[in-house]
Structure 1
Amino acid sequence: MSWLRQRSKVDLIGGALVALLGIGAVIQGSTYSIGTLARMGPGFFPVALGWILIGLGILIALNADPVAEEDLEHDISRDPADWRGWGMIILGLIAFIIIGRWGGLAPATFALVLISAMGERDQKLVHAVALALGVTVVGALIFSWGLQLQFPLFRWG
């Protein structure tokens, strides 16, 4: 148990959370038909992604950096939470849901990325707009044109 105390708590907790998310995806994906590699069912992708997440979570936890003795006294839980970042990400998700319903995929994606990017304190507006435009174009190409997702790019009214 002493090796746990001498490892980075952030990496251990992060790895555990990634693995937990993977377990949830496997459990939920297993409720759908998985199918075969030739004829994949709706549960195939979530189960496969879940197993990948479980493996990555284990690797993250196992590769946690050893903590030096002087760093053991610094408790990460004493650092203040970045509420601006959390708030902007949540606000971006809410904006995506609302704008996506009435505006379409392109404006919803743009709003999501722009608002979420502004959660970083050093972010410049021009860089956030450029990032939002780039992600919107790539997302439109992948989801609308490539995968033919039934989510209109623009919705008027």
Structure 2
Amino acid sequence: MKIKSQRDFWSGLMFVVVGVVFAVGATNYSLGSSARPGPGYFPLMLSVIMAILGGIVLFKSLTIETEGGDPIGAVAWRPLLVIVAAIALFGFALPRLGMVITIPILIVVTSFAGDEFHWKGVLLSAIVLTVGSWAIFILGLKLVIPMWPSFFGA
């Protein structure tokens, strides 16, 4: 069988593999039922949907002809590394610096992944996302996430 779209083939394959891996990982948790879902129910359903969508994209890549085969371009290493480093920094800093400081740091660091950087947009995003995160996770969901740095004693 001939691959007619390289981009769709590899992205579909990636979604199928990630979906299957997470589906297998979700089976380590209690699934429960549709009426009373357990902690593994939602991740399992999402991973199955992801694998199915990946299968559809994979099938499309083998059946629908694209102009020039839709080749894959070069890997954008800078954005990839910046985003991975920002996520690691967020995981390290959140328990120590709290959400009010860590989210703006995350926004500033991830904004360097793109080609365009404007302080006004970055600062506005940091404010909106920090307030939104507080409203959703602390106020709405009542999660226990540190708001302020641990050295403040709060």
Distance 1:31 1:112, change over 3 A: same
1:45 and 2:39 aligned: no
Contact 1:33/1:41 (8 A) holds in 2: yes
Partners of 1:140 and 1:42 in 2: CA distance:
24
Equivalent residue letter for 2:36: R
Gaps of 5+ in 1: none
Equivalenced residue count is 149
Q: Which residue of 1 aligns with 2:65?
A: 66
Could you tell me how far 1:75 is from its partner in structure 2? 4.7
Q: Which residue of 1 aligns with 2:15?
A: 18
Q: Which residue of 1 aligns with 2:91?
A: 97
Partners of 1:62 and 1:127 in 2: CA distance:
40
Partners of 2:140 and 2:57 in 1: CA distance:
32
Question: What's the C-alpha RMSD, in Å, of the aligned pairs?
Answer: 2.2
Equivalent residue letter for 1:27: V
Gaps of 5+ in 2: none
Distance 1:19 1:133, change over 3 A: farther
Distance 1:38 1:151, change over 3 A: same
State, as a whole percentage, how many aligned pairs show the same letter: 23
1:124 and 2:132 aligned: no
Distance 1:41 1:109, change over 3 A: same
Q: Which residue of 1 aligns with 2:138?
A: 144
Q: Which residue of 2 aligns with 1:36?
A: 33
Partners of 1:23 and 1:12 in 2: CA distance:
16
Normalised to the residue count of structure 2, the TM-score between the two structures is 0.82
Could you tell me how far 1:63 is from its partner in structure 2? 4.2
Distance 1:57 1:99, change over 3 A: same
Higher relative contact order (Cα pairs below 8 Å, separated by 6+ residues): 2
Normalised to the residue count of structure 1, the TM-score between the two structures is 0.81
- Deviations for 1:64-121, whole angstroms, at most 9, x for unmatched residues? 46322xx34x853xx4432221221122112202210201233222222321122001
Contact 1:15/1:59 (8 A) holds in 2: yes
Partners of 2:59 and 2:105 in 1: CA distance:
37
